[in-house]
């Protein structure tokens, strides 16, 4: 996987401070080291402020996998088109909690 990191305008906030893939280590008042774990298992030292990155992820945000694991599964009793039709028989809707999906 290729990660693009570009510099930016001086004086702006470094994106790494709000990225979930970065670890910021402070060493004193004006010395900090930023390590990026976005594309590799080995950390990459970020030497300059980053203002554009293809792998930036908001710190504390929920991943797609975490959302899918927590989502309720909704299905119908008959696999066919769902909608309004004259004279259609009632359709049963089944809603399963996230824990029940693991048992299947």
Asked if residue 97 is part of any domain, the answer here is yes
Q: Are residues 40 and 73 in the same domain?
A: no
Q: Are residues 45 and 19 in the same domain?
A: yes
Asked if residue 59 is part of any domain, the answer here is no
Q: Are residues 9 and 49 in the same domain?
A: yes
Residue with tokens 């824990």: 99
| Structure tokens given for 14 | 């470094």
Q: Are residues 74 and 95 in the same domain?
A: yes
Consecutive H or E run containing 75: strand 73-76
Asked if residue 88 is part of any domain, the answer here is yes
Query: What does the pLDDT look like over 19-46, one tens digit per residue?
Result: 888 888 887 777 888 898 887 778 888 8
| Structure tokens given for 53 | 């990155």
Query: What does the pLDDT look like over 49-83, one tens digit per residue?
Result: 888 888 888 888 887 888 888 888 887 766 666 56
Provide the domain limits for residue 72.
64-103
Number of domains in the chain: 2
Q: What is the pTM of this model?
A: 0.49
Q: Are residues 14 and 42 in the same domain?
A: yes
Asked if residue 28 is part of any domain, the answer here is yes
Q: Are residues 43 and 10 in the same domain?
A: yes
Asked if residue 58 is part of any domain, the answer here is no
């Amino acid at each position: 996987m290729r990660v693009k990191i570009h510099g930016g305008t001086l004086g702006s906030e470094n994106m790494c401070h709000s990225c979930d893939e970065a670890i910021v280590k402070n060493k004193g008042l004006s010395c900090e080291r930023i390590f990026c774990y976005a594309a590799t298992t080995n950390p990459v030292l970020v030497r300059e402020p980053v203002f554009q990155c293809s792998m930036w992820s908001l710190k504390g945000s929920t991943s797609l996998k975490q959302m899918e694991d927590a989502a309720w599964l909704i299905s119908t009793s008959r696999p066919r088109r769902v909608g309004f039709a004259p004279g259609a028989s009632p359709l049963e809707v089944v809603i399963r909690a996230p824990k029940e999906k693991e048992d299947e």
